[in-house]
Amino acid sequence: MTATVPRLTASFDDAPLTLVRRRWRPGLLLLLLVAFVGLPWLGNDYWLNAILIPFLVLSLAGLGLNLLTGYTGQTSVGAAGFMAVGAFATYGLLLRVPGLPLPLALLGGGVIAGVVGLLFGIPSSRIKGFYLMVTTLASQFFLEWVFAKFPWFYNYASSGTISAPRLELFGHNLATPVGRYLLTLSCVVLLTWVAANLVRSQVGRNWMAIRDMDTAAAVIGIAVERDKRMAFAVSSFYLGIAGALWAFAYLGTASAGSFDINRSFQILFIIIIGGMGSIVGSFIGAAFISLVPILLSHAGQWLFNGNVDAGQLQNLQKVLFGALIIGFLIKEPEGLARLLGDLRERIRVWPLRF
DSSP 165: -
DSSP string, 120-172: HHGGGGT--THHHHHHHHHHHHHHHHHHHH-GGGGTT-TT--EE----EETTE
Q: Minimum distance between the CB of residue 253 and other proteins, rounded to whole angstroms?
A: 4
**49: which DSSP letter?**
I
- Report the DSSP beta bridge partners of residue 169: 172
In the complex, minimum distance from the CB of residue 129 to other proteins, in angstroms, rounded to a whole number: 29
Smallest distance from other proteins to CB 302, Å: 4
Q: Taking CB under 8 A as the rule, does residue 295 contact other proteins? A: yes
Q: Is 314 in the site for other proteins (CB under 8 A)?
A: yes
Q: Contact at 8 Å (CB) between 264 and 144?
A: no
Question: Angle at which helices 279-304 and 336-349 pack, to 10 degrees?
Answer: 90
Q: What is the largest CA-CA distance in the chain?
A: 96
Q: CA 12 to CA 35: how far, in whole Å?
A: 43
Give the integer Cα–Cα distance in Å for 62 and 192. 11
Residue closer to other proteins (CB basis): 139 or 317: 317
Stretch that binds other proteins, among 19-27, 75-83, 120-128, 291-299 (CB under 8 A): 291-299
**Among 13, 17, 311, 354, which residue sits at the site for other proteins (rule: CB under 8 A)?**
311
Query: Smaller CB distance to other proteins: residue 82 or 250?
Result: 250
By CB under 8 A, residue 331 contacts other proteins: no
Size of the site for other proteins (CB under 8 A): 44
For 38, other C-beta atoms within 10 Å of its C-beta total 12
351 cis-preceded (ω within 30 degrees of 0): yes
Whether residue 87 contacts residue 247, with contact meaning beta carbons closer than 8 Å, is answered with: yes
Q: Does 341 bind other proteins (CB under 8 A)?
A: no
Asked whether position 310 contacts other proteins by CB under 8 A, the answer is: yes
Interface positions, 135-194, toward other proteins (CB under 8 A): 148, 155, 157-161, 163-166, 175-176
Binding mask 2-41 for other proteins (x = CB under 8 A): ----------------------------------------
257 binds other proteins (CB under 8 A): yes
How far apart are the two ends of the chain, measured CA to CA in Å? 49
The amino acid at 169: L
Does 302 contact other proteins by CB under 8 A?
yes
Work out how close the CB of 325 gets to other proteins at its nearest, in angstroms, rounded to a whole number.
Answer: 17
Q: Which residues bind other proteins (CB under 8 A)?
A: 45-46, 49-51, 54, 95, 148, 155, 157-161, 163-166, 175-176, 250-253, 255, 257-258, 294-295, 297-299, 301-303, 305, 309-311, 314-315, 317-318, 351
